[in-house]
Structure 1
Amino acid sequence: MFTPFGNAFAGDVLRWSGDDLAWLERGPVWRAPVIRAGDVVRVSDSIDVWDSWPLADSYGMPVRWRGGELWFALAAPVLDDPEARHGHARIHHFHRIDGRFVHLGPTFPDGFTPGSREWSGSATLREGLVTLRFTAAGERGEDRPSFRQRLFSATTRLIDPDASEQTGGAVFAAWSEPAELAVPRDVIYTSRHDGTGRVGEIKAFRDPAAWWAEGGAEYLLFTASCAEAPSSHDGLIGLARREPDGTWCNLPPMVDARGTNNELERPHIIQSGGLLYLFWSTQAAVFAPGIAAPTGLYGAVAERIEGPWRLLNGHGLVFANPVAEPYQTYSWWVLPDLTVAAFVDYWGIDNPGAVAKPAGRSHFGGTFAPFLRLKLNGARSILKGTPAS
């Protein structure tokens, strides 16, 4: 039976269940177009790129920068096994200009962040100050990668393009010392993340993204796992609020997927048509046994962050990868103009019966995917330019 999470938050927790996802069988389901060879444009021969996000304003819209936009993404050296990239992940930044991404380099100095790796986050520009929120994975200097996850932010200012010529083309001034954000206290959100160490089974406290409500209250969304009733499938979309003294108060989750899904990744909110839309990514392999739901972008809608939240399309699925290409893209990020960024994962499989991801480099994209575009109408979403099936 569903047990409410305390009484620290006046909002409603959205319970996402197998019964909701059973509506997928009634269709139709929107599916992304198939990635073709010409769509896979590498930004570098030396690095793989995956989870990405822009330097955005308070509403999530990319800010103009040097004739284009400034984007961040996780990157790692090209390895024989692409799955090993997570153990080498660093945040890099890119110039998106004229429809292409130009690699500018690692964002933080070596050894600057508190973990052994840097995982996903978000970035905003407010009052001239860049705030980059990120996940510190593991411990700095550890001999073997561990999976403790902590949420941090660091701030800086952008260097004027004219001045950058005198600073070797640098983009950022010196970063502030990383400051920890919300902390899991094993009351709502677990602080024990190692699990088995296998992808899809690691517990979560990662992917920080900010949202400012009307009146200025600042909230932090994140991927989390349940502390009150831990299990193999206990994923949550967590929420915290910044208090007047600058500290963070953990609130009950926005979405509770206990018994349904283990990882509701990279949650973020945009505003469209006077409503708030919450989006997250998840994979078919992390749904509980007996739930047949695809890898895809999922979402919910509400009038305010406190809810009540309603699943988009009745089941939550916004769109999925093609049936014949079930792993082709992942880690979708929706912008307020309803364009959708992602990265090219394993593509070119052309096998409707595929169950497991292919091994090795031959099918791994490791680069930015072509942008897609949504249409939203209340609790309904449409993937533009492709028919539902």
Structure 2
Amino acid sequence: MTTSPTVPHGLRPVAWTRAHLDRLAHSATTTAPVIRGPLPRVLPADDIWDMWPVQDEDGSACLIHGRELWMGLSAPAVGHPEERHDVARIRLLATGDDGWTDLGHVFADGASLGSREWSGSAVRRSDGTISVFYTASGLRGEARPTFVQRIIEVRPKLITNDGGAVIEGSAEHREIVRSDGRTYLIADEIEGGPGRIRAFRDPGWFRDPADGREYLLIAASTAWDDRYTGAVALAGADAGGWSLRAPLLVADGVNHEIERPHVIVHDSSYYLFFCTQRHSFEPSDSAPTGLYGFVAPSLTGPYEPLNGSGLVIRNPPEQPDQAYAWLVLNDLRVASFLNYRGRPGTGAWPAEASAARAAFGGTLAPMLTLTLDSATSSLT
């Protein structure tokens, strides 16, 4: 049995419900094409996943010498792919017509506040600095990985040169917003693993053109009884720092783990996107791994699901795990990474290390493009 959440500011989140998911239908307009053949690797010797562009303050992609600046999680491409989460580091990259250039780790060894770094976002400021928002997972110096999650901002200088860009490594790493334990569960578990832990991570930066204020969208877990409590939390910037707001969306009883929430504004509507995996639904496999979305007239709603169900992009049924971590850009390009490819109906992540490694992509998947029309989306 569930109880009503404690919701700050009197706002009510939209509930993503089983009734929405019952409207989900297989359609070519929401199904990604099968990815065939090998793909070029962004990093030859490292896996990369959960990529995001560095934004300018108007939300557009940051350009350095005509090339887009990006970040992404990286780890050496060895061993079982699921172990990459235990050693993840944020990498700085540039991309243009000549492909991808590796600009190295964003932070110096031992600088971040966790034992590893998980997803976030970044924005270039007018004073020559760059705000990097990331998830500090675990604790610095811990003997083995724990699953403590904290939202961190660091604001180093971004120095451009003929080779691209360099981030100065001396800026302070600060925890800027905490789960309150009332509306949102505190993500401080010692034991766990991907898909089995509470969430307070993946800060996605957004400036609302309606009021000019900055916000963070955070993948969270609501603090009431049901185990399936995935949510999109909202934090707003003010003179004193960042403060938690009401969740934008809750998936009480429907989904355990909503990830990488973000918002874009298109044709004066606010589009809230997030991704989740098929094993995170209740019951498991009752909906596909994919990108899901809602639309509203303002940042705080009221939201309605795109395409009736919320489904925006799903993996094809014959390759249900081929891509993940979709991110919709302002120009409606959609980035994701090549995850597991294998026989239909099987999951490669439980396999032993060599089989899982053979099935894992660990690089950028082909870009997709969306068309958005009010509460309808389609792949173009």
Q: Same fold (TM over 0.5)?
A: yes
The answer (yes or no) to whether the contact 1:59–1:270 under 8 Å persists in 2 is: no
The answer (yes or no) to whether the contact 1:296–1:318 under 8 Å persists in 2 is: yes
Matched with 1:188 is 183
- What 5-or-longer segments of structure 2 have no aligned partner? none
2:129 equivalent to 1:135 = no
2:161 equivalent to 1:161 = yes
Matched with 2:81 is 82
Matched with 2:246 is 252
Matched with 1:278 is 272
CA–CA distance in structure 2, aligned partners of residues 108 and 172 of structure 1: 8
The answer (yes or no) to whether the contact 1:129–1:156 under 8 Å persists in 2 is: yes
The answer (yes or no) to whether the contact 1:260–1:291 under 8 Å persists in 2 is: no
> Deviation of residue 67 (structure 1)?
2.2
Taking structure 2 as the reference length, what is the TM-score of the superposition? 0.93
> Deviation of residue 126 (structure 1)?
2.5
2:137 equivalent to 1:145 = no
> Deviation of residue 63 (structure 1)?
1.6
Matched with 1:47 is 46
**C-alpha offsets along residues 232-284 of structure 1, whole Å, 9 cap, x if unaligned?**
311111111122222x2211211111111011100001111111111001000
Of 322, 331, 339, which residue of structure 1 is paired with 2:325? Answer: 331
Matched with 2:375 is 379
Matches within 5 A, 1:232-243: 232-243=227-238
Moved more, 196-205 or 277-286: 196-205
Identical aligned pairs, as a percentage? 42
Distance 1:291 1:326, change over 3 A: closer
Of 263, 279, 300, which residue of structure 2 is paired with 1:269? Answer: 263
Distance 1:26 1:192, change over 3 A: closer
Instruction: Give the CA RMSD over aligned residues.
Output: 2.0
CA–CA distance in structure 1, aligned partners of residues 26 and 317 of structure 2: 16
Matches within 5 A, 1:16-55: 16-25=16-25, 30-38=30-38, 40-55=39-54
The answer (yes or no) to whether the contact 2:6–2:182 under 8 Å persists in 1 is: no
Matched residue type, 1:201:
R
Taking structure 1 as the reference length, what is the TM-score of the superposition? 0.91
CA–CA distance in structure 2, aligned partners of residues 306 and 92 of structure 1: 32
The answer (yes or no) to whether the contact 1:193–1:202 under 8 Å persists in 2 is: no
**C-alpha offsets along residues 35-76 of structure 1, whole Å, 9 cap, x if unaligned?**
1224x1112332110110011123432121122111100001
2:200 equivalent to 1:201 = no
CA–CA distance in structure 2, aligned partners of residues 176 and 374 of structure 1: 37
Of 294, 301, 304, which residue of structure 2 is paired with 1:307? Answer: 301
Matched with 1:387 is none
- What 5-or-longer segments of structure 1 have no aligned partner? 385-389
CA–CA distance in structure 1, aligned partners of residues 8 and 198 of structure 2: 23
> Deviation of residue 10 (structure 1)?
4.5
